[in-house]
Amino acid sequence: MAHDTHQHAHGSHHHGSTRNLRVAFLLNLGFALVEVFGGLWANSLAVLSDALHDMGDAMVLGAAWYLSGLAMRGRDGKYSYGYARYSMLGGWLTALVLAAGSLVLMVFTLSRINQAHEPHTGGMILLAFVGLGMNGLAAWKLHGGSSLNEQGAFLHLLEDVLGWAAVLVGAVIIRYTGWGLLDPLLSVAINIYVLFNAVRTLRKGTGILMQRLPEGFDELRVTAALRALPHVAGVHDQHAWTLDGEYIVLTVHLEVDTTNADERSALTAQAREMLLGMGVHHATIELEQPQDHCVLQDH
């Protein structure tokens, strides 16, 4: 009965998470579309740049919404590790789109920077207030979420709030100083910020796809800890990678000086428990005798 209660609570939380992501996605997508038309109406490159950012975040939220349901499927006959990597892949593709879009918009802005440019500051201020309200509401819906999808989406929305605060300040300065050049300069600044974060996400995602060692994973420390276990004479063919930036997988061969079944079983259990404490969620451990010849050790 306790197990059923736990499952029910977990399911209720999952549905709440999915509902919050859906609301945040619809708010962000709807306002991003309004932003595009508003940016054209206000003749503001800064607003159009932030529209690109919001559209990218809407893609992130949409992927998070979809993947929060997909993650419940777990492993199956086609995906033995489950569907966790789809979450990372969605973020990687979104970052690629954002990086390309910010470069295109930056080139367009720089090509017009010497032209006379007078944005509609009243429209900019109106859109900035609406943007702060809409993105603030969407961020509030995800505030305090425990899932990685919710936390990542919440950070994206916080970036949007900061971007609209910058647009608001810039619009007020232009309105009272007449310095229209600030609008394209603000557009360039927003695009540089978006590009910086997109490239950082691309680098992280590429490392995950190429099975790079997880960030913060100390391979030498893990090897030393395994060597210190009872009956372990050597450690080799150790590999570690992450499925989605969080879930860490490790495979390793341990040379042991005992053939006693109980001692070998106890050693394996101790190694798994120790590795779990070091952040490894899934460990595959193979025990060998020191005199055994491991073909994999030669590669």
pLDDT at 51: 77
Same-domain status, 223 and 279:
yes
Same-domain status, 129 and 59:
yes
Phi-psi category of residue 245: left, alpha or beta, with phi > 0 → left and psi -120 to 50 → alpha: left
- Looking at 176, 209, 242, the residue that finishes a domain is 209
**CB-based contacts of 157, cutoff 8 Å, min separation 6:** 24, 28, 57, 135, 138, 139, 142
* Mean pLDDT split into 10-residue runs, the chain, 299 residues: 38 51 75 79 77 74 71 74 72 75 78 69 83 78 56 64 80 83 79 81 84 90 95 92 86 93 94 94 90 62
Q: Terminus-to-terminus CA distance in the chain, angstroms?
A: 51
Same-domain status, 252 and 185:
no
pTM of the predicted model over 0.85: no
Amino acid letter, residue 93: L
CA-wise closest residue to 248 among 219, 287, 289, 227: 219
Position 214 in a domain: no
Position 287 in a domain: yes
Enter the DSSP assignment of 178: -
Same-domain status, 185 and 231:
no
Position 293 in a domain: yes
CATH number for the domain that contains residue 247: 3.30.70.1350
For residue 234, the enclosing domain spans 219-298
Same-domain status, 200 and 105:
yes
pLDDT at 156: 65
**CB-based contacts of 95, cutoff 8 Å, min separation 6:** 197, 198, 199, 201, 202, 205
Half-sphere exposure of 262 (CA within 13 A, CB side): 0
pLDDT at 285: 94
- Looking at 209, 229, 249, the residue that finishes a domain is 209
Q: Are 244 and 208 in contact (CB under 8 A)?
A: yes
Half-sphere exposure of 284 (CA within 13 A, CB side): 9
Same-domain status, 259 and 292:
yes
pLDDT at 294: 66
**CB-based contacts of 124, cutoff 8 Å, min separation 6:** 42, 44, 46, 47, 167, 168, 170, 171, 174, 183
- In the chain, how many domains are there? 2
